[in-house]
């Protein structure tokens, strides 16, 4: 499964959005578009990304930019590969 | 306050730094005189999980067992400010509550704890004259650094969502400089942060007796020996029985969530000889 697919699964589980996750595309906005997306959800997603992809998110990487779109999040994850 | 199976009592007792609110539920009928100590999780997770603790307490009483819970200083109805609380102070509070229960005729010999409360329970058992035969740990969290990182990240994300701009490294620097920071609605002192950061660096769970480790998962996952062998060694535990319960993480959900299967399984362990 590609990065986008794995991130969709993480978002589905962390945000409990079910089939709505299937509709997310690379340009789908996350942070200010999904009602369930609050600060606690963001932290949960980061923890799940760390476990799924096997790296630690650097302190100063944490911020709104990485969650702007699904594509932005995937770009960040792949940059840490 | 009574139901048909239990008697619930709550009162203030004198702690080392102010009054502590303690709650003890005992069976209405005959019982052993032994008691389960409930150790709360950190911050808002406690408020989210009170219902689970209350229902478990009632179920234990129905099975003939008492349970003891204390609001640690700076939390719940106990005196003090959260920002002034220290990890060692909380251990003292647990000791105060346990001694009070003993004076009332109830000997603590088992533990139920949730998330970071598991680390606190382990630290208390290691520091206090307390012999625990078995413990039930719900979603244990022993790595304090990871918890602190999550709290800092949550603050950064909250700030960014409100059009603010903070960095985790800057927050860490402010804590190192002695500043108390609000995280998740709670004032976190540098002392508390230092104590949490130090958790998980050595064997901690030797005094928790036989541990039943519960992971709460939304979807069942194949259990490959959770916790990992490395965790067992790191914790220094005598034995760990991994369990898995499907359900929502009730300590962090928006609505109050109850997991009946977790309660039932927990009571079976704590009340029996499993």
Residues from chain A contacting residue B169 (CB–CB below 8 Å) = 59-60
For residue B225, what pLDDT band results from cuts at 50, 70 and 90?
very low
Enter the tokens of residue B257: 């969530």
Interval B230-273: pLDDT, tens: 466 556 777 889 889 999 889 988 788 999 999 999 999 999 85
Least confident residue range of B34-38, B105-109, B182-186, B229-233: B229-233
Contacts of B71 (CB under 8 A, 6+ apart): B20, B21, B22, B40, B77, B78
Residue A48 makes CB contacts below 8 A (sequence gap 6+) with A10, A13, A14
Compute the distance between CA of residue A79 and CA of residue A51 in angstroms, rounded to an integer: 16
> What's residue B203's pLDDT?
57
Distance, in Å, from the CA atom of B101 to the CA atom of B70, rounded to the nearest integer, reads 11
Pairwise CB contact (< 8 Å): B161 & A31: yes
Smallest CA-to-CA distance from A11 within A2, A1, A22 is with A22
Report yes or no: B161 at the A interface, CB cutoff 8 Å. Answer: yes
Q: Which residue of A has its CA nearest to B168?
A: A59
Q: How far apart are CA B41 and CA A75, in angstroms?
A: 36
Close Cβ partners of B232 (under 8 Å, ≥ 6 residues apart): B240
* Tens-digit pLDDT profile for residues B196-205: 998 875 557 8
First to last CA, chain B: 31
Task: Quote the radius of gyration of chain A (alpha carbons, Å).
Answer: 11
Inform me whether the pLDDT recorded for A49 exceeds 50: yes
C-beta separation of B269 from B212 below 8 A: yes
pLDDT in tens, A13-28: 888 898 999 999 999 9
List, for residues B66-125, the tens digit of each pLDDT value. 999 999 999 999 999 999 999 999 999 999 999 999 999 999 999 999 999 999 999 999
B218 touches chain A (CB under 8 A): yes
Assign A63 a pLDDT band (cuts: 50, 70, 90). Answer: very high
What residues of B are in contact with residue A63 (Cβ under 8 Å)? 156-157, 160, 167
State CA B201 to chain mean position distance: 19
* Interface touch B252/A40, C-beta < 8 Å: yes
Smallest Cβ distance to B153: which of A16, A31, A43? A43
Greatest distance between any 2 Cα atoms in chain B: 59
pLDDT of residue B224 exceeding 70, the answer is no
Q: Which chain A residues are within 8 Å of B153, Cβ to Cβ?
A: 42-43, 46, 62
Distances (CA, A) of B44 to A14, B40, B92, B184, B243: 19, 10, 21, 8, 25
Q: Can you tell me the ipTM of this complex?
A: 0.92
Work out the number of other CB atoms within 10 angstroms of the CB of residue B274.
Answer: 11
- Selecting from B150, B169, B218 the residue whose C-beta is nearest the C-beta of A43 gives B150
d(CA A24, CA A19): 10
The model carries a pTM of 0.88
B204, B172 Cβ separation under 8 angstroms: no
Quick one: how many helices (H) and strands (E) in chain B? 8, 10
Q: Stretch B158-174: mean pLDDT, rounded?
A: 88
């Amino acid at each position: 499964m590609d990065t986008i697919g794995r991130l969709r699964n993480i978002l589905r589980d962390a945000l409990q959005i079910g089939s709505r996750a299937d509709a997310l595309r690379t340009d789908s906005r996350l942070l200010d578009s999904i009602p369930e997306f609050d600060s606690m959800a963001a932290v949960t997603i980061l923890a799940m990304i760390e476990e799924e992809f096997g790296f630690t998110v650097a302190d100063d990487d944490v911020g709104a930019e990485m969650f702007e779109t699904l594509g932005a999040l995937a770009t960040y994850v792949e940059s840490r590969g | 306050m009574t139901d048909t199976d239990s008697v619930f009592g709550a009162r203030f007792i004198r702690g080392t730094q102010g009054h502590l609110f303690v709650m003890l539920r005992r069976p209405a009928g005959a019982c052993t005189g032994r008691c389960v100590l409930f150790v709360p999780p950190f911050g808002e997770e406690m408020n989210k999980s009170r219902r689970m603790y209350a229902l478990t307490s009632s179920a234990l009483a129905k099975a003939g067992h008492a349970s003891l819970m204390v609001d640690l200083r700076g939390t719940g109805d106990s005196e003090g400010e959260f920002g002034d609380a220290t990890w060692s102070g909380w251990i003292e509070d647990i000791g105060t509550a346990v001694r009070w229960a003993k004076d009332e005729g109830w000997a603590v010999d088992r533990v139920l704890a949730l998330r970071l409360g598991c680390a606190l329970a382990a630290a208390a058992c290691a520091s206090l004259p307390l012999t625990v035969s078995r413990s039930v740990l719900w979603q244990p969290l022993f790595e304090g650094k990871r918890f602190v990182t999550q709290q800092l990240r949550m603050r950064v994300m909250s700030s960014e969502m409100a059009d603010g701009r903070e960095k985790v490294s800057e927050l860490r620097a402010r804590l190192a400089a002695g500043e108390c920071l609000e995280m998740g609605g709670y004032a976190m002192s540098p002392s508390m942060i230092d104590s949490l950061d130090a958790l998980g660096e050595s064997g901690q769970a030797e005094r928790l007796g036989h541990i039943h480790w519960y992971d709460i998962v939304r979807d069942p996952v194949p259990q490959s020996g959770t916790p990992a062998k490395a965790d067992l060694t790191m914790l220094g535990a005598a034995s760990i029985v991994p369990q898995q319960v499907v359900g929502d993480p009730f300590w962090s959900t928006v609505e109050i969530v109850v997991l009946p299967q977790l309660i039932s399984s927990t009571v079976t362990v704590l009340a029996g000889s499993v």
